[in-house]
A and B are shown apart, each in its own frame.
Chain A
Amino acid sequence: MTAVTATRGTGRRSLPLPAGLRRCAVPLALLVLWQASVGLGWISTRSVPSPSQILSAFWELTVSGELAVHLLVSLARVSAGLAIGVSAGTVCALIAGLSRRGEDALDALLQMLRTLPHLALVPLFILWFGIGETPKIALVALGTAFPIYLNLFAGIRTVDAKVVEAVSTLGLTRWELIAQVILPGALPAFLTGLRYALGVAWLSLVVGEQINASSGIGYLAMTAREFLRTDVIIVALIVYAILGLLADLIVRVIERSTLVWRPAFIKE
């Protein structure tokens, strides 16, 4: 996992399309191809529904309000898990990143834990937390804490030492130095961590919702399987994909507004 975000040049943009739309171009093309394949009978509709079937299933679920209910439940789980995971990861990274003693106390332990695939903890979490909301949220929280910790810790430790040294001659208090120089310097790495964390959050949610859930997008997909509703399963998958894209978009917007000082983002 790197702490470096790729910077994107904005120089040779020909169409002023929003980034989100440009990124959707290839999936849209595939969708058209898919509909054509089913329509021409190349693919059996029993194993793979056509996009129009999926669309009508989507419409049904939306009109009945079912989709909204499950979506809200899933979003609530992801938000709660993310809030806990990001906070925990941030606090640990600040403690370990800003003090030697903190590093000694935390880093070895966390580096050890991070090698554990957190999804393997599902059986243990069910035993500990039962089958309610807690294990699902805990899974998301655990999964997201590590990318935040690792990236932010590395970010804090790799803030340009020469700049910090120069600033230290300017008479700032230690707290001002941390708040104005070190943390903003670690922000790009934090956002990289956040993007990883969002990916992990959805993954954890998918797994978490397929065990003993009675609501949520994952539950929707699992019950659809029992009724052989491939169209509903695919609706669920699409919803996951859209949520993932949206999350990514949000991080990009945050980057754009907070990293304005980077040459790639500077518009003067």
Chain B
Amino acid sequence: MSHALPRISTPSQSDTRPVVSVRGLVRNFGAVTVLDGLSLDLQPGSFTALLGRSGCGKSTLLRTLARLDPAPEGAVQLPDERAVVFQEPRLVPWMRVLRNVTLGLRHADAEARGLAALAEVGLSHRAHAWPLTLSGGEAQRAALARALVREPRLLLLDEPFAALDALTRLRMQALVETLWHAHAPAVLLVTHDVDEALLLADRAVMMANGRIAADIPIPLTRPRRHGDPGFIALRSRLLAELGVDEEHLAAREPQPVETRAAGANPAPGGFALPAGAAAAPSL
């Protein structure tokens, strides 16, 4: 695994052409307009967090970028090498883990690639297991390996850690960061967790009313810690952008983050805040 140097984000990489370019994207469900002229560029190798209230259309945007939905109105430029990880692992239960990972690969050495990807996510020992015997975290790592093995230029993550317990989530966040450094895909991460966005991304985009309402660079050095002054300042800024009243939240701070039920929608505002977890995640 090649470790790139910890990088400081440089949002103005104007010399490179964006790997994703969305212009004037419109998507309606019946009378409801979910995406309303949305525009967004993603630079190659950038890590972007997508935030917004529940139901604001984050998954809809992601599905459009994954080409899971019929072609919408507006111009969308995408790389061919795309991969998606959903909130659930979505492995095929009747294929062993390795087969799941290599599914659809056309390379002659698909199996070796699959094994390498599984090794990267720390799942070599489960390569020949049936998916239904994996733990939630293991299954999600297998899903990550399945995405990674395709060497995507665009990696789409739709709340991939939301159903995991707090400790596993920290491990997965660290893993995703490592993998991102090693493979440098452009990542678009949908999350409800402001701290997760601040730990991982070098840019946070907020969705509201079917558009990008705010685009905030996160120029923090890595590895990042919850307690750093820059972290705390940006956290306040993001929460303010999201319209979350921080003092109101502070009153509920003692509530630990893992009380969020797996798969359930978080607090009415749609955001969960870990209570002062100060340690940087480690594998």
Contacts and interface: CB of A to CB of B under 8 A. Distances in A.
Are A and B a genuine interacting pair, yes or no? yes
Interface of A: 160, 162-163, 165-172, 176, 180-181, 184-185, 187, 259-263, 266, 268
B103 A169 contact: no
Q: How large is the interface on B (under 10, 10 to 19, 20 to 34, 35 or more residues)?
A: 20 to 34
A262 B88 CA distance: 18
Contacts of B133: 263, 266, 268
Contact of B86 (A166, A168, A180): A166
Contacts of A263: 132-133
Interface string B37-50: 00000000000000
Given A163-B90, A172-B104, A261 B132 contact: yes
B128 to A, nearest CB: 10
A262 B93 CA distance: 8
Contacts of B132: 261-263, 266
Contacts of B146: 170
Given A162-B88, A261-B130, A263-B132, A169 B68 contact: yes
B130 A166 contact: no
Contact of A166 (B82, B84, B94, B129): B84
SS of B interface (majority) = loop
B83 interface: yes
Contacts of B88: 162
Nearest to A173: B104
A261 B95 CA distance: 8
Contacts of A169: 66-68, 82-84
A165 B93 contact: no
A132 to B, nearest CB: 43
B76 to A, nearest CB: 16
B66 to A, nearest CB: 6
Contacts of A176: 104
Contact of B103 (A160, A162, A165, A172): A172
Contacts of A259: 94
A158 to B, nearest CB: 14
A4 to B, nearest CB: 15
A162 B92 contact: no
Interface string B90-107: 111111000000011010
7 contacts: A163-B93, A171-B104, A181-B92, A261-B93, A261-B94, A261-B95, A262-B132
B104 to A, nearest CB: 3
A172 B150 CA distance: 13
Contacts of A184: 94
A120 B222 CA distance: 77
A180 B94 CA distance: 9
A167 B68 contact: no
B92 A167 contact: yes
A162 B88 CA distance: 9
Given A172-B103, A266-B133, 12 more contacts: A166-B86, A167-B90, A167-B92, A167-B103, A168-B68, A169-B83, A169-B84, A170-B150, A187-B94, A261-B94, A266-B130, A266-B132
A172 B68 CA distance: 14
A262 B106 CA distance: 28
A177 B81 CA distance: 19
A64 to B, nearest CB: 49
A159 to B, nearest CB: 10
Given A170-B104, A261-B130, A165 B68 contact: yes
B91 A163 contact: yes
Contacts of A260: 130
Contacts of A162: 86, 88, 90
A166 B129 CA distance: 20
Nearest to B99: A180
Interface in B104-150: 104, 106, 129-133, 143, 146, 150
Nearest to A262: B132
A167 to B, nearest CB: 6
A165 B90 contact: yes
A45 B90 CA distance: 64
A166 B143 CA distance: 10
